[in-house]
Chains A and B, each alone.
Chain A
Amino acid sequence: MTLLQTENLCVRLGEHAVVHRASLTVGAGEVVGLIGPNGAGKTTLLRAALGLIPLEGGAIWLGGDPLEALAPAERARRAAWLPQEREIAWPVAVERLVALGRMPHARRLGQPTAADRQAVAKALAAMEITHLAKRPATWLSGGERARVLIARALAQEAPLLMADEPAVSLDPGYQLGLMEVFRQQALAGRGVLLSLHDLSLAARWCDRLLLLHEGHIAAEGPPSAVLTAERLRTVYGIAAEVAEGRGGLSVQVLGRTPAGG
C-alpha cells in the first residue's frame, strides 16, 4: 500500500524554485533514502510532503487520501516527522519527551493509556536508551539526544516515518543500530523515508534511493542503479568508486572533479 505519494511537487521559497516537479512514492515495507548534495532541496521536499510549507504546485496523498483533506492530527497519525533541528527546549525527562510522540493518539484531557506506555517502552528499547528514561533530556550528549528524538518519532507508531538526516552525529555503532531499527520498521509493514548524507549507509540499508539534484529528482531506483560513478560525478562533483564489498554496496570517494558536466 502506498503510504506517501507526491506528483509534480513544486516549492518556491522567495524567488527560488527549490523543488521542481518532484514525483515520488513510498510504500509499506520499504526504506527509501533521499540523497543529494547540500542545498539540493531534500529538507524542503520532505517538509513540503508533510504539508509544513505551502506548495507552488503539485499534489500529495498521505495514506491514500489527499493531504489537504486531512486534519493536522490525522496527518500526525499517518506520518511521524523527525526534523533536522535537534531542539529540546526544556529539561524534560527522556520518557516524557518520548511520550510526546503519543500526542496524535491522545484524547482531550486523557491520561496516558496502556498502549501509550507500551509504545514508549518499545521506542526506548529500540533506541537503547531505556536506562536514560528518567534523565532530563537536556543533560544528554549529542548522540544520546539524537536517539531520544528518534525514539519520540518511533513512539508515534505511524505507518510512515520520515526523518531528516537522523544519522548525523551518531557514532558508527549507533548509526548501524538506527538503520537496523528502520529495517525492523519496514519488516513490520511500515514505511520509512529518510534523507542521508552518508552514501555508503544509503547504499547498504535502503531499498530504494531518490537522488535529488538542484530540486529535481535526478534518479530513482535501487541503490545499485542510482549510485553510478557517472551520476556521482555529475551531481556531487566527486570521483567515486561504487563496489560490492563484504557488507554490501559501498561508495568510496576518490577525489574531486569540477561539478556539472
Chain B
Amino acid sequence: MSDPLPYPLLLALLAAAAAALFVASLLTGSSGLGLAESVQALFAPEPGQQAVALVMREIRLPRAVLGLMVGASLGLAGAVLQGYLRNPLAEPGLIGVSASASFGAVLAFYTGLAGAVALALPVMALIGALLAVGLVFAIAGRSRGSLTVILAGIAVSSLAGALVSLTLNLSPNPFAAYEMMFWLLGSLADRSLQHVALAAPFMLAGWLLLGLTARGLDALTLGEDAAAALGVRLGRLRLLAVLGTAVAVGAATAVAGAIGFVGLVVPHLLRPLVGGMPSRLLPASALGGAALLLAADLAVRLIAPDRDLKLGVVTALIGAPFFVWLVLKTRRGLA
C-alpha cells in the first residue's frame, strides 16, 4: 500500500487550501465589502477609501494573519506532541498546555504588567505553557500509556482553568469576571496588528524548534532505545519538543486564548496521507492546522455575524465527537 498522494502534491494542496481560506477570511466581516473594493483598499487605497482601508488593514488583515499562524502553531505542536509521546491523544489543548498558557497571559494582562511591558504577555504565557508541557512530559516519562498522559492533562487543565477564573474574579475591573470565555475558548475578534507583532516572532521561533524534532521523531517510531542507538540525542529532542511547544502555543494563546482540538484532529486526519512518518506530518499539520482554524474563524463569522461566538465552540463541535471516536478506536485497538 503506497501513499494515496505524492507528498509534494499533498503539501501543495494543503497550502492552496490555507491560502484560499486566508483570502476568504480577508473578505469576510460584519460589513459586506465588495471583492474589488476590499482588494484595492488593502493594497492601494484611494483617498476616498480611507475607512475601507482602515477596516481591511487594521481589522481584517490581523485576524486573517493570526488565524493562519495560530492554526499552524496548534497543528504543528499537536503533531510534535503526538510524535514525541507516541500517543494519538496528545495535543496542546488536551494536555493542558493551552489552559496554562492562558493562565500566564491572564496573570500578565489583568495585573497591568502587560500594559507596562508589552512582551510580558507572550512571555508569561510561554512560561505557563512550559510548566504544563514539562509537567506532562515528566509524568508521562517511562509509562507510555494514554491514561497517564490524559489524566495529567486533565489535572493541569482543570487547575489552570480554575486559576484563570480566580484571577478574573479578583480583578477590580467589573468586566474581567465575564472574560473567562475568551481565555478558555479563544477568539480572534478585533485582534490588531499589535497582537500580530507581539506573537509572530515567538510563533516563528517555536516553529523552528519544533521543525528540528522531525528526524528524531521518525526514529522514535521504533521506541526510545532504538532511537538512541540510531544516534538520536533524546535529551535534546525532548528539549526541542518542550520548548518549541511552549513558545509556539504560548504566544498563540497569549493573543487568541486557548483553542483546543486543532492539534488533535489535524495530525490524525493527515497521518494516513503521509504514510505515518512523523517528519512528513509536521509541515502537513502546520498547513492543515492553519486551514482548519481559518475555516473555523469563517464559520464563527458566518453563523453569528454580530455576536462574539468563540472559536473554541466551533473547534469543540468538530473536535469533541472526533475525540470520542478516537478513544473508542484506541480502546478497540488495545483490546
Q: Interface residues, chain A, CB within 8 Å of chain B?
A: 47, 50, 52, 71-77, 79-83, 85, 87-93, 96-97, 100-101, 103-104, 106, 134-136, 149, 152, 156
| B contacts with A, residue count (CB < 8 A) | 24
Contact B231 A103 (CB under 8 A): yes
Whether B57 is near chain A, meaning CB under 8 Å from some CB there, is no
Answer whether A89 and B221 are a contact pair too, CB < 8 Å, given A96-B275, A134-B1, A136-B1: yes
Contact B2 A93 (CB under 8 A): yes
Give CA–CA (A136, B229) in the complex, Å. Answer: 23
11 pairs of residues in contact across A and B, judged by CB atoms under 8 Å: A76-B230, A79-B229, A80-B229, A83-B225, A87-B223, A89-B221, A90-B277, A97-B222, A100-B221, A103-B230, A104-B231
Contact A83 B233 (CB under 8 A): no
Chain B, 267-287, contact with A by CB distance < 8 Å: what is the 0/1 string?
Answer: 000011001111000000000
Contact A87 B229 (CB under 8 A): no
Q: A76-B229, A83-B226 are in contact. List 12 more A-B contacts (CB 8 A).
A: A47-B225, A52-B225, A72-B232, A73-B231, A75-B231, A76-B230, A89-B223, A96-B275, A97-B221, A103-B231, A136-B276, A156-B230
Contact B231 A72 (CB under 8 A): yes
Which residues of B, 227-247, contact A by the 8 Å Cβ criterion?
A: 228-233
Which residues of B, 1-18, contact A by the 8 Å Cβ criterion?
A: 1-2
Q: Which residues of A contact B215 (CB under 8 A)?
A: 103, 106
Q: Which residues of A contact B86 (CB under 8 A)?
A: 87, 89
Q: Which of A72, A74, A149 contacts B222 (CB 8 A)?
A: A149
Contact A85 B230 (CB under 8 A): no
Closest to A43 in B: B225
Give CA–CA (A80, B229) in the complex, Å. Answer: 7
- Looking at the assembled complex, report how far the CB atom of B219 sits from the nearest CB atom of chain A, in whole angstroms: 6
Q: Which residues of B contact A89 (CB under 8 A)?
A: 86, 220-223
Whether B58 is near chain A, meaning CB under 8 Å from some CB there, is no
Contact B1 A93 (CB under 8 A): yes
Give CA–CA (A202, B271) in the complex, Å. Answer: 42
- Looking at the assembled complex, report how far the CB atom of B285 sits from the nearest CB atom of chain A, in whole angstroms: 13
Answer whether A90 and B221 are a contact pair too, CB < 8 Å, given A96-B275, A100-B230: yes
Q: Which residues of B contact A135 (CB under 8 A)?
A: 1
Give CA–CA (A96, B221) in the complex, Å. Answer: 11
Give CA–CA (A89, B267) in the complex, Å. Answer: 14
Q: Which of B1, B228, B230, B275 contacts A101 (CB 8 A)?
A: B230
Contact B275 A85 (CB under 8 A): no
Give CA–CA (A96, B278) in the complex, Å. Answer: 12
Q: Which of A47, A80, A103 contacts B219 (CB 8 A)?
A: A103
Answer whether A100 and B276 are a contact pair too, CB < 8 Å, given A52-B229, A81-B225: no
Give CA–CA (A149, B227) in the complex, Å. Answer: 12
Q: Which residues of B contact A77 (CB under 8 A)?
A: 231
Answer whether A92 and B1 are a contact pair too, CB < 8 Å, given A83-B226, A103-B219: no
Closest to B225 in A: A83
Contact A90 B230 (CB under 8 A): no
Q: Which of B2, B226, B231, B277 contacts A134 (CB 8 A)?
A: B2
Give CA–CA (A82, B278) in the complex, Å. Answer: 21
- Looking at the assembled complex, report how far the CB atom of B235 sits from the nearest CB atom of chain A, in whole angstroms: 11
Give CA–CA (A123, B132) in the complex, Å. Answer: 43
Closest to A149 in B: B222
- Looking at the assembled complex, report how far the CB atom of A203 sits from the nearest CB atom of chain B, in whole angstroms: 28
Contact A72 B2 (CB under 8 A): no
